[in-house]
Amino acid sequence: MCGIIGYAGPRQAAPILLEGLKRMEYRGYDSSGICVGTADGAGSTSYSLALVKKIGKIQALRQVVPKDFPGSWGIGHTRWATHGAVTDRNAHPLLDNSGRIACVHNGIIENYRALREMLEGEGVVFQSETDSEVIPNLVAKYYEGDLESAVKAALANLQGTYGIAVIHAAEPGRIVGARNGSPLVIGIGDGEMFLASDVTAMISHTKQVVYLNDGELVVVDSSGFRTTDREDRHVDKKIEKVSWELGAIEKGDYPCYMEKEIFEQPESIERALGGRIDFETASAKLAGLNLDRRRLGEISRVEVIAAGTSWHAGLVGVGLLERMARIPASAELASELRYRNPVVQRDSLYFAVSQSGETADTLYALREMQRKGGHVLGICNVVGSTIARESEGGIYVHSGPEIAVASTKAFTSQLAAFYLFSLLMSRMRDLSISEGSRFARALAGVPEQVKKVLAGRDEIQRIAKKYSHSRDFLFLGRGLMYPIALEGALKLKEISYIHAEGYAAGEIKHGPIALVTPEVPSLFLVPDDELREKTLSNMKEIKARGGPVIAVGVEGDDEVAATADDFIATPRMDPRFYPFTMVVPLQLFAYFCALDLGRDVDQPRNLAKSVTVE
């Protein structure tokens, strides 16, 4: 949610800032801007700030930034509006009244009204409606020749969350960054330095990175960086190496990231499982949990904390855990849990599940559980992300960078993590070695089955075209398919803007069936599990009321195929594994509907991939 970038080095800053913003566009894409320090004339040692901002995507900004925009240090921002409409004025960077200080901000300043009034009382005239504009003006208020001290003094006044980068025309080549709740990473190049919300912004220049923690401040210039805490004490930081390559964040031959990520799933699931299935003991090896067998054996309850698609993965996970390991389990929406004063039990295990590892609601819920003595593990994709670092251990899902706003491959990798954990826990309880072996073999075979589903893309595209002009949709399933129905509905909403509701199939008679007309299609998930007959009856109830029915079922299930108007066949497998194979047609269905409607699939309206505000 909002991406910030800074560059200090010998090269022209503007192209580097624009490239970084383009790579972080998924974090917000309603407006953007850059600000660089430029010499006041050839050979001059005095500098001014040059600013360009534009509503729209980075491409719109590119068109208004002059080719020879001079300046070898600067900052940039891509915005997801919170305070103030989407206008050029409200875009960042924001300047102080003198125009000598510029700031980019990701987060929300909660006490901005009081600060604004105070600054207005001192003669400051605000140019934007944003909460963020108080920051450069506070820095100006405290500036006495040292930007670092002025930023520190300004931060002492702020309540809320921020990742910021600040520059001053009087301090060429220097950027001051600080973090409290919104991510900030330092990139160490060869004679040049970067600062960004995310490593993707600088991966084409360096793989050496340092993650800032909350309460830390950094000063960078082309020669290096220095980090301190709020009390001005030096903080030693570890330099880490990004393990993936630039190719992982490029589209390759695909028309968009979402299609690439859907089709990558056989490999991404393979990576999530990689080396973690122990065929000899028919169990799973999850060293990152940092829990010994005795502690694992004492766990009497599992609770998942997550948002959006990650919550849906959690719902599948807890269903499986309960069924296989006979452990009471539940999945909670982080945005609800964090304000509910939850009861935390010492023998419970909490999983904070997040692709980005930065979702504010999930992060704050994690902290609240930890404050109450809860043991929280993370299931994250982004290595080094805040949730991954603040949890006491966990499982990296290794799906590789996910760029499209709507999550696909991270979801199936999160499922893989839960399946591994369920295998481990159930083998420590009642599951026999032969049952465990069967489960382990089926799990290892999931990537192959997903490949078969992907091969059916043309048929799914044909069906999507037939229904893409519907205004409303129902997605229905039972058992492990209920969260998949929720996920299918979410995918369709997110990228096609068709209204879709995910419902437990058994619940439709309690209300939603009133929506059914020949114009409102229902998509049913019908695996050949113990609930098949029940779901089939629900399908018939819809048919009897004239509602069109699409069924995602199992190959050779003629009865389901004959009941539905359209049938998407998936390979027959152990029923516990259908969440992997049955979610894929729903991802493709949403994708092809969105394509047919001419939507911006990778960057749907109003959304952002990494939601670092409440």
> Which range touches ligand G6P (CB under 6 A), out of 31-39, 208-216, 349-357, 572-580?
349-357
**Nearest distance from C-beta of residue 170 to ligand G6P, angstroms:** 39
Helix (H) / strand (E) element for 38: namely strand 31-39
**Nearest distance from C-beta of residue 310 to ligand G6P, angstroms:** 4
Residue with tokens 């082309």: 222
From 132, 227, 268, 309, residue interacting with ligand G6P (rule: CB under 6 A): 309
From 354, 426, 570, 581, residue interacting with ligand G6P (rule: CB under 6 A): 354
- Other Cβ atoms less than 10 A from the Cβ of 293: the count is 9
Site for ligand G6P in 425-444 (CB under 6 A): none
Task: Please report whether residue 356 would count as binding ligand G6P according to CB under 6 A.
Answer: yes
Site for ligand G6P in 516-535 (CB under 6 A): none
Secondary structure (3-state) at 230: coil
| Exposed / middle / buried, residue 530 (Cβ in 10 Å: 0-12, 13-18, 19+) | exposed
Task: Please report whether residue 416 would count as binding ligand G6P according to CB under 6 A.
Answer: no
Which lies closer to ligand G6P via its Cβ, residue 147 or residue 593? 593
Distance of CA 202 to the CA centre of its chain: 18
Which lies closer to ligand G6P via its Cβ, residue 152 or residue 398? 398
Task: Please report whether residue 283 would count as binding ligand G6P according to CB under 6 A.
Answer: no
Rounded to an integer, what distance in angstroms lies between the CA atom of residue 550 and that of residue 559?
Answer: 13
Residue with the CB atom nearest ligand G6P in the bound state: 308
Asked whether the beta carbons of 136 and 96 are under 8 A apart, the reply is: yes
> Which range touches ligand G6P (CB under 6 A), out of 101-109, 140-148, 350-358, 545-553?
350-358
Single out the residue of 347, 390, 398 nearest to residue 365, CA to CA: 390
**Nearest distance from C-beta of residue 409 to ligand G6P, angstroms:** 12
Which lies closer to ligand G6P via its Cβ, residue 498 or residue 550? 498
Task: Please report whether residue 407 would count as binding ligand G6P according to CB under 6 A.
Answer: yes
**Nearest distance from C-beta of residue 197 to ligand G6P, angstroms:** 13
Task: Please report whether residue 265 would count as binding ligand G6P according to CB under 6 A.
Answer: no
Contact mark string toward ligand G6P, 102..131, x via CB under 6 A: ------------------------------
Could you give the C-alpha distances from 450 to 68, 262, 306, 397, 582, in angstroms and in order? 49, 10, 25, 17, 9
Structure tokens at 558: 């003629």
Site for ligand G6P in 386-405 (CB under 6 A): 405
Is 609 tagged catalytic?
Answer: yes
Say how many residues touch ligand G6P, by CB under 6 A. 15
Which among 2, 35, 380, 593 is annotated as catalytic?
Answer: 2
Which lies closer to ligand G6P via its Cβ, residue 310 or residue 563? 310
Task: Give a three-class secondary structure readout of 407-429.
Answer: CCHHHHHHHHHHHHHHHHHHHCC
> Which range touches ligand G6P (CB under 6 A), out of 160-168, 324-332, 353-361, 542-550?
353-361
Which lies closer to ligand G6P via its Cβ, residue 561 or residue 607? 607
Task: Please report whether residue 406 would count as binding ligand G6P according to CB under 6 A.
Answer: yes
Which lies closer to ligand G6P via its Cβ, residue 309 or residue 422? 309
Rounded to an integer, what distance in angstroms lies between the CA atom of residue 277 and that of residue 420?
Answer: 7
DSSP string computed for 415-470:
HHHHHHHHHHHHHTTT--HHHHHHHHHHHHTHHHHHHHHHTTHHHHHHHHHHHTT-
**Nearest distance from C-beta of residue 423 to ligand G6P, angstroms:** 23
DSSP string computed for 323-344:
HHH---EEEEEHHHHTTS----
**DSSP bridge pairs for 75:** 6, 35
Helices and strands counted in the chain (H then E): 20, 26
Structure tokens at 541: 């109830």
Which lies closer to ligand G6P via its Cβ, residue 31 or residue 362? 362
Rounded to an integer, what distance in angstroms lies between the CA atom of residue 416 and that of residue 269?
Answer: 7
| Exposed / middle / buried, residue 97 (Cβ in 10 Å: 0-12, 13-18, 19+) | middle
Task: Please report whether residue 182 would count as binding ligand G6P according to CB under 6 A.
Answer: no
Site for ligand G6P in 51-90 (CB under 6 A): none
Site for ligand G6P in 554-613 (CB under 6 A): 607, 609, 611
Structure tokens at 33: 């801007």
Which lies closer to ligand G6P via its Cβ, residue 31 or residue 610? 610
Is 466 tagged catalytic?
Answer: no
From 206, 283, 359, 386, residue interacting with ligand G6P (rule: CB under 6 A): 359
From 307, 318, 403, 417, residue interacting with ligand G6P (rule: CB under 6 A): 307
Task: Please report whether residue 308 would count as binding ligand G6P according to CB under 6 A.
Answer: yes
Single out the residue of 406, 382, 408, 402 nearest to residue 394, CA to CA: 382
From 182, 362, 535, 581, residue interacting with ligand G6P (rule: CB under 6 A): 362
Asked whether the beta carbons of 265 and 584 are under 8 A apart, the reply is: yes
Task: Please report whether residue 355 would count as binding ligand G6P according to CB under 6 A.
Answer: yes
**Nearest distance from C-beta of residue 306 to ligand G6P, angstroms:** 6
| Contacts (Cβ under 8 Å, ≥6 apart) of 195 | 4, 5, 6, 7, 75, 165, 175, 177, 184, 185, 186, 187, 218, 220
From 128, 137, 310, 399, residue interacting with ligand G6P (rule: CB under 6 A): 310
Rounded to an integer, what distance in angstroms lies between the CA atom of residue 336 and that of residue 313?
Answer: 17
**Nearest distance from C-beta of residue 500 to ligand G6P, angstroms:** 15
Binding site for ligand G6P (CB under 6 A): 307-310, 354-356, 359, 362, 405-407, 607, 609, 611
Q: List active site positions.
A: 2, 609
